[in-house]
């Protein structure tokens, strides 16, 4: 029983797709992970405490992405 379950094991990196997204989510590329963490925290803060809805926030994010 132990041998059959061993063959089904896979790494977390491979389970997440094994690409750049997996690297960011697993903090292998810490700069991308930090940007993702800060942006998610900023969006949470703005929607929770500044009374900004996601429908108002989405166009702002879209404009920021286009400018960079």
Q: Which of 47, 21, 33 is nearest to 60 (CA)?
A: 47
The position carrying tokens 């292998």 is 28
Domain count, the chain: 1
pLDDT at 1: 45
pLDDT at 10: 77
Q: How far is CA 3 from CA 9, 10, 12, 25, 33, in A?
A: 11, 14, 20, 30, 36
Report field, pTM of the whole predicted structure over 0.95: no
pLDDT digits (tens, 9 = 90+) for 21-57: 888 888 888 888 888 889 889 888 888 888 777 777 7
Q: Containing domain of residue 13, as a range?
A: 2-67
């Amino acid at each position: 029983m132990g041998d059959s379950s061993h063959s089904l094991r896979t790494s977390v990196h491979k389970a997440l797709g094994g690409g750049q997204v997996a690297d960011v989510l697993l903090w292998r590329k810490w700069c991308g992970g930090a940007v993702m963490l800060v942006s998610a925290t900023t969006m949470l803060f703005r929607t929770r405490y500044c009374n900004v809805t996601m429908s108002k926030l989405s166009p702002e994010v879209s404009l920021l992405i286009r400018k960079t």
